[in-house]
Amino acid sequence: MSTATDYGRHIQTVTVTRLEGDAVTMSSGWSWLLREQLRGHVEVGTVCDVETIRFSQVVGWRIHGSTEWLWRETDADIDRTDADFRADMDRRHRETLARNEADWTAREAALPDWARARLAVYHQHGGQAFKVSGWGYELVVCELAALYAADPQLPAEGHIAWDDESAAVRALAEREGTSGNQHDCALSLARAHRAGRDLAGTVAALSPITGDAFYAQAAADAAQEESA
């Protein structure tokens, strides 16, 4: 059973099915870390109201039937956690850029013109925000796309199993720790290039997650934070 509350919160009534170390598993199938405030209050079979936001982020916990929360984050707590997460993410991204900017610049220059044209759109719209938040990711997508496009055995459609990848693709994937999303996007780009399409306008590989097609929103958000 679940009900919606303010701030996008949802309360789901579930039963504890397993306790193992710091992990608690519920009848819903989800597992979470057992916070200190819950120790001694929950055991296998305990019926709980678990409050979540964003589908699975737990922000509150109480015993079902009780009006007192064992632990609950306020809206301000959630905002503070979000701000801390963004700040930490931005810091790590900037550190990564500082370590890799010279290498990424050289690798981008080594790409074929059609792949560089794709990245040029992101540099234009995203500026420094693109360099910080997406350059490394999109660069690897373009490097994969270039390798796929140069492969005369590239299948016209479908995925490529890991064992069927070329040695060059496997080497790049192992070095960079690539994701399935990067490979899927790269395959689409390689096939589009072979079909004669201009790739300077294809949306970012991260856009399904960020909703930001060309890193323009990332640049606007960064400008707003700087002016705040």
Domain boundaries, the chain: 2-73, 83-227
pLDDT reported for residue 31: 87
What pLDDT digit, counting tens, does each position of 81-95 carry?
A: 777 766 676 788 779
pLDDT reported for residue 119: 97
Amino acid at 177: G
Extract the tokens encoding 47: 């019926």
What is the average per-residue pLDDT within 64-70?
94
**Is-above-0.75 flag for pTM?**
no
Percent of the chain with pLDDT over 70: 94
Q: Which residue would you say has higher pLDDT here, 52 or 22? A: 52
Extract the tokens encoding 119: 């990245």
Q: Tell me the C-alpha distance between 13 and 11, whole Å.
A: 7
CB < 8 Å & 24+ apart, contacts of 111-116: 111/142, 111/143, 111/146, 112/146, 112/149, 114/193, 114/198, 114/199, 114/200, 115/142, 115/143, 115/145, 115/146, 115/189, 115/199, 116/142
Q: Which residue would you say has higher pLDDT here, 123 or 57? A: 123
Q: Tell me the C-alpha distance between 74 and 79, whole Å.
A: 9
Q: Is residue 1's pLDDT more than 60?
A: no
47, β-bridge pairs: 15
pLDDT reported for residue 218: 83
3-state secondary structure 47-79: EEEEEEECCCEEEEEEECCCCCCCEECCHHHHH
What pLDDT digit, counting tens, does each position of 115-143 carry?
A: 999 999 999 999 999 999 899 999 999 99
